[in-house]
Amino acid sequence: MTTTNQAQIPARQRHPGRWWALGVLALAQLMVVLDSTIVNIALPTAQHDLGFTDSDRQWVVTGYALAFGGLLLLGGRLSDSFGRKKIFLIGLAGFALASALGGAANGIEMLIIARILQGAFGAALAPAALSLLSITFTDAAERGKAFAVFGAIAGAGGAVGLLLGGLLTEYASWRWCLYVNLAFAVLAALAAVFKLSDEPVQNRNRMDWPGVVTAVAGLAALVYGLGNAETDGWSNPLTWGFIVAGVVILTSFVAIERRVAHPLMPLRVVLDRNRGGSYVSVAIAGGAIFGVFLFLTYYLTGILSFTPIQSGLAFLPMMATTVITAATMGSIFTPRLGPRPLITAGALLAAAGMLLLTRLDLDSSYLTGVLPGQLVTGFGMGLIFAPAQNAATSGVRHHDAGVASAMINTAQQIGGSIGTALLSSFAASAATGYLAGHGAGPRTAPLAALDSYHAVFWWSAGLFVLCAVIAAVTFRSGPLEIDPDAAPVVAH
């Protein structure tokens, strides 16, 4: 494929409806991303209301992660085979209905089923949205702007979930953390029906069912094993059993994909340097960012005694920095420089932000202690996600756009799961080590917690440095390759 420029794009491909498309797709992306954190804020209240155990509570989180992570590749291929707009609308409707079911839950079983359904429909919705964006914006400059907005939402959506979850839980009900998805879904669906159209499906190949079964089983086993490591530790037989099983099954999946005529995940999609680099970069950054969202939240609530709403508001500056950086620098420099220098610089900045957070102590204030690290990290995140998502779908064939989009979501999901499990175990080890080496006292417990947070921030900094190295050696130099034949999504 060759690159394209503004002069080469026919006027009909620059129809004003493409910006409506961006708004629709960004709204749907926000709904999926914030749902990973908004429910976490509501869980303690929901647990008290419905009376379920801590082990049951974990399944509310794990059920969503299993369905979402396990079904993403299938969702991406379905959007390529049956139409991206059709799968997008099905995903929206299903996600909304599942959210309504969860909001009306009268027990833990109903809530877990709703979360599993949310994950399943989210796995159809997310890759369909990103692939629609990919084929909509084919001009390099406009594509940079569009992916800057989309990437900013992907990077900051978790913080939005924390804020919205705190507000809804405190002033309404935990159930509204699920019901709120109905508003997002209705707005996005109405706009999609009237403003989105899709290119016709060119090749509806036979489904690769052996690939589907092994991909779903392998990803689900891997996600479950990592989730089990977070709750039961790395020494638990189930942890390693499921992780090893997941790796073995995914290895067989790759072997199947090399041999079948119409693979679920064509290896050409992931073996391209830019796309492969984007998947690995997002996986590592996705794991590292949990050091901010999860353990900085613990610091704010446990050490600084912030309320849920105050904790959510505390993330607003980082969220704003991420969005502004992605929307400005990402959109300006990605078409000119390509992802390599931006992601490398962004990861190093995020690492610097983590190092600033290692200086926190029991007497730190938000303004002088927490905020500087947040701002630097947010600036770095804005330079990572937008160029990486752009690279993940650049230069890909039309009939592979959905699966390429699914892969970037899969990378972020698996990276987040690995990061959560690893960072949680590092935090627990650090706290245990501190308690073993210090006598009992009024400050021992909070100092042990602080030591665990420092350990997480150090490890997160290391992950961001690893992300920078991967980006520097993997991505090609120069602007991204764009498909000049991609059909646009235009307004009626």
- For the whole model, what pTM was predicted? 0.84
Q: Residue 467's Cα: distance from chain center in Å?
A: 16
Neighbours of 355 (CB within 10 A): 17
Count up the domains in the chain and report the number: 2
Cα dihedral sign, 456-384-397-89: positive
pLDDT in tens, 315-343: 889 988 988 888 888 778 888 888 999 99
- pLDDT grade for 150, boundaries at 50, 70 and 90: confident
Could you give the CA distance from residue 413 to residue 338 in angstroms, rounded to a whole number?
24
Q: Provide mean pLDDT across the span 374-402.
A: 87
Residue indicated by tokens 């939240």:
297
Per-position b or e across 104-137, b if 16+ CB within 10 A of its CB: ebeebeebbebbbbbbbbbbbbbbbbbbbbbbbb
User: What three-state secondary structure class fits 358?
Assistant: coil
pLDDT in tens, 72-91: 889 988 888 888 889 999 99
Residues 235 and 156 in one domain: no
Provide the token pair at 445.
């417990």
Where a domain ends, among 263, 278, 296? 263
Q: Residue 107's Cα: distance from chain center in Å?
A: 28
- pLDDT grade for 202, boundaries at 50, 70 and 90: low
Domain of residue 133, residue span: 14-198+264-474
pLDDT value of position 5: 41
Position 178 in a domain: yes
Provide the token pair at 377.
């990290």
Residues 230 and 352 in one domain: no
- pLDDT grade for 486, boundaries at 50, 70 and 90: very low
Neighbours of 465 (CB within 10 A): 18
Neighbours of 258 (CB within 10 A): 10
Is the separation of the CB atoms in 174 and 105 below 8 Å? no
Where a domain ends, among 248, 263, 278? 263
Neighbours of 436 (CB within 10 A): 8
Q: The CATH number of the domain where 435 resides is what?
A: 1.20.1250.20
Position 1 in a domain: no
Which amino acid is residue 389, in one-letter code? Q
Could you give the CA distance from residue 276 to residue 456 in angstroms, rounded to a whole number?
27
Residues 252 and 279 in one domain: no
Residues 113 and 214 in one domain: no
Position 176 in a domain: yes
Mean pLDDT taken over the chain: 85
pLDDT value of position 264: 87
